[in-house]
Amino acid sequence: MDTKAFNSMLAAAKTASKGIGNSSTATRNAALTEIAKVLIDRTKEIVSANQFDLENGKQAGLASGLLDRLKLDGVRVAALADSLQTVIDIPDPLGEIVRGRTLHNGVKIQQIRVPFGVIGAIYEARPNVTVDIASLALKSGNTVLLRGGTAAENTNRVLVAAIQDALKTVGLPAEAVQTIDEFGREGATALMQATGFVDVLIPRGSAELIRTVVTESTVPVIETGSGIVHIYIDASAPKEWAIDIVRNAKEQRPSVCNAAETLLIHKDAAARFYPELAAALHEQGGVVIHADEAALKLYADAEPASEVDWQTEYLTLDLSVRVVENLDEALNHISRYSTKHTEAIVTEDYANAERFLNEVDAAVVMVNASTRFTDGGEFGFGAEVGISTQKLHARGPMGLQELTSTKWLVRGNGQIRK
């Protein structure tokens, strides 16, 4: 690795953070408007670069879920451009007064939101994240160093070049958004060790990637997580709700972290309509069902589930299914296997719904809704940096406020402490 070139990028990002952090809301919004325009203007170039990455990915044997995440077509590029307008419309968090008071001696104190400074992001095969993180970082007054992985290297190069050109158009430093993909894995490791230059690091990807970053980084990390997402169908669940929610959560886009991976169904609901639900998933949606012994007895066109299935984030059209005796058994299963991302219950029993909401330990807990709603765009953030499954600072979909820290401002007129 060219250490000198890498360190130069770190220093440039640090310098650029001062300009971005002190820029006006209007200037940063103008940058986002220009980025959206450039993305649309360069759609053909972006899709062409992405096609090259997709072909390389297929030859390298990338899983279908990763290939879906990697893909950018005209529709997805347009959606990225549209998401920037939502970010523009969200109030600027910088300078927001979190709390404050005037002391008895007249000293005034305020806690306000400020940028982190330099954000590092490590992710894989997700070029949409390049735009999402860049837009949220810029709006919140931060600069960002991106390690998007070899699989999307060509796409990311074109996207970052477009973003940098847009920044220069409005008078902001191009170094506010940089990719370190050229430095490969050594660059990723160096980013994890860039204490003093990088203020916070956000990994987004596989459980292995996140575990590596958390373990090896000397830079503070906001931990995002993989999604072994459960849906529990309670005894009182309406059949139509259950079928619609499970199919949407599994089939709409199985390669993403908010897709359902395990279905837990109360024995009474299983007797009422599980065979119909399983058939709809398997025959209409192409879902491969991995069923426990009780579920296999009700629907034979499934594969036997093993212990590994309960521990697997498939990211494919696979779903593990277990019939449970009651809510307690469902809660115990979720407690044991959950990655604390998103968990859902389908029920008309108010007491069970409230108990599920209160007892399940996850970033997002849902009643009678598809787990696919766990998303920054759906939550009104325009985009998301990731979905944090930790409990410090940020939890759940991360938007603008989660990319800020705070500082205290103290104003006096000669007071001294006695």
CATH topology of domain 3-224+386-411: Aldehyde Dehydrogenase; Chain A, domain 1 (3.40.605)
What whole-number distance in Å separates Cα of residue 314 and Cα of residue 12? 40
Question: What CA–CA distance (Å, rounded) separates 213 from 186?
Answer: 13
Whose tokens are 């699989």? That residue is: 151
Joined together, the tokens standing for residue 147 give: 């390690």
pLDDT in tens, the chain (418 residues): 899 999 999 999 999 999 999 999 999 999 999 999 999 999 999 999 999 999 999 999 988 878 988 999 999 999 999 999 999 999 999 999 999 999 999 999 999 999 999 999 999 889 999 999 999 999 999 999 999 989 999 999 999 999 999 999 999 999 999 999 999 999 999 999 999 999 999 998 777 888 899 999 999 999 887 889 999 999 999 999 999 999 999 999 998 899 999 999 999 999 999 999 999 999 989 999 999 999 999 999 999 999 999 999 999 999 999 999 999 999 999 999 999 999 999 999 999 999 999 999 999 999 999 999 999 889 988 788 889 988 887 899 999 999 999 999 999 999 999 8
What is the average pLDDT value for the chain, to the nearest integer?
A: 95
Q: How far apart are the first and last CA of the chain?
A: 56
Return the H-helix or E-strand segment holding 396. Answer: strand 396-397
Handedness of CA 374, 157, 78, 138 (dihedral sign): positive
Asked whether 25 and 88 are in contact (CB, 8 A), the reply is no
- SS3 of 68, please? helix
Domain chopping of the chain, boundaries = 3-224+386-411, 229-373
Q: What is the DSSP letter of 94?
A: T
* Orientation of helix 350-359 relative to helix 327-337, angle to 10°: 20
- Return d(Cα 288, Cα 314) in angstroms, integer: 11
The DSSP string of 221-266 is B--B----EEEEE-TT--HHHHHHHHHHHHHS-TTSTTSEEEEEEE
Rounded CA-CA distance 386/253 in Å is: 17
The answer to whether 141 and 21 have CB atoms below 8 angstroms apart is yes
- The span from the CA of 274 to the CA of 243, in Å, is 9
CATH class in words for 229-373: alpha beta
Bridge-based pairing of strands 108-115 and 97-102 is antiparallel
